[in-house]
Amino acid sequence: MSQELNPFKIAQRQFDEAAEVLGLDPATRALLREPMREFHVTFPVRMDDGTVKVFKGFRVQYNDARGPTKGGLRFHPAETIDTVRALAAWMTWKTAVVGIPLGGGKGGVICNPKELSLGELERVSRGYIRALGHYIGDEIDVPAPDVYTTPQVMAWMMDEYSVMKGYNVPGVITGKPIPLGGSAGRGDATARGGIYTVREAAKILGIDLNGATAAIQGYGNAGQFAHHLCVELLGQKVVAISDSRGGIYNPEGLDFEACVAHKKTTGSVINFPGAKNITNEELLELDVVVLYPAALENVITKENAPRIKAKISAELANGPTTPEADVILHENGVYVIPDFLCNAGGVTVSYFEQVQNAYDYYWPLVEVQAKLDEIMTNAFHAVHEAAQEYKVHNRIAAYLVSVQRVAEAAKLRGWV
């Protein structure tokens, strides 16, 4: 049988497995395995050459039983509604696993930001908000950055929404630049939260991370900060990194500053002096202690899972591992820190940003980081304990913790 790679079908299959273990009633199952609400929009954008191009965008508000929906926006040429649905479902489980009072949502625009000028990117960002502004808001649904969207994109979107409202609404979007109400610590929050979970996993597994090797797939927000922080906080040695054009490997270790500078000047990490070029596939199979998938979905499948040698796979990306691969990794003793736990640091600090916007009072960086550490550490141990108690692998354990919490909220509201 061919392997299912539709991310939403995968998300539903993972949910079904957890619902079965929990013995959820049919109504709760039916409610939680589908999005509550979704929007498909088409909007025109004036391009630099004077022509008008029409873009397609999505926003999925998956479930708001625990609070307003929350989740990032992707600008990607291969964006599909099913990817957005899956990511919105995972946001629902993510906010629940870390116990913040939010639901889950996600959005995207089918576009290639690498082919847009800065002005066109701004008009796409504003066009998306004009199309959807009436259906989002700080008490309804709050977007944030994701693949190929940046703090600047968030700033334009916040401004467009504020223009629609007629007053300043910083809390409509998170991941904003700090002068516009962004939170200290949001930039590296996704990677930092993941690093805290790796630290906890290593304690449980009895692994000394000092000098332990790491490979990172994807060198954007999540991947670059993971490089910096796994060295700074855990003393790891990063031997391989990659981006969409390929990867590099140096068993002696790769210097963070030099890699970032190289990517900045050449547009990619490949052809880095002193390192060997490798493929993204080779990177995943390296004999390292910690693997950080930090790019896109479905990169660890039943084909390559048997060859994964890492002791810990810390999933900063969403959906990097297929369900078939999950079983193989579990049998082979690879300790997976599942995506919606491992990368929940981003939404956690986004939530802090919303709280600070509501109070118009801003916390120092050390306070943000201490609060993030506490939340991530507690969430990690809740999932680890569920895995022990129910004798399931970590991803299903994370689902058990989250689905229970969302189901409880839906029940208390009287929905099911």
Nearer to ligand NAD, 62 or 148 (CB): 148
CB of 402 to ligand NAD, least distance (A): 15
| Separation in Å, CA 290 to CA 100, 106, 225, 300 | 28, 28, 15, 14
CB of 66 to ligand NAD, least distance (A): 18
Name the strands in the sheet holding 237-243, side by side, starting at the edge strand that comes first in the sequence. Answer: 276-278, 246-249, 237-243, 213-217, 290-293, 312-314, 335-337
CB of 148 to ligand NAD, least distance (A): 5
CB 142 within 8 A of CB 68: yes
By the criterion CB under 6 A, which residues form the site for ligand NAD? 145-148, 190, 217-223, 242-244, 280, 294-296, 316-318, 343, 346
CB 314 within 8 A of CB 290: yes
| Separation in Å, CA 93 to CA 69, 182, 205, 403, 416 | 11, 24, 25, 7, 18
Nearer to ligand NAD, 19 or 249 (CB): 249
Q: Which residue is nearest to ligand NAD (CB)?
A: 220
Nearer to ligand NAD, 243 or 285 (CB): 243
Distance CA 311, CA 48 (A): 49
Catalytic residue among 70, 106, 176, 263: 106
CB of 23 to ligand NAD, least distance (A): 30
Give the strand pairing for 52-63 and 69-76.
unpaired
CB of 70 to ligand NAD, least distance (A): 11
**Contacts (Cβ under 8 Å, ≥6 apart) of 323:** 4, 10, 13, 14, 17
Nearer to ligand NAD, 244 or 271 (CB): 244
Provide the 10 A C-beta neighbour count for residue 175: 29
Nearer to ligand NAD, 320 or 410 (CB): 320
Q: Known catalytic residue: 391?
A: no
Locate 81 and state its tokens: 């509604």
Catalytically active residues are: 106
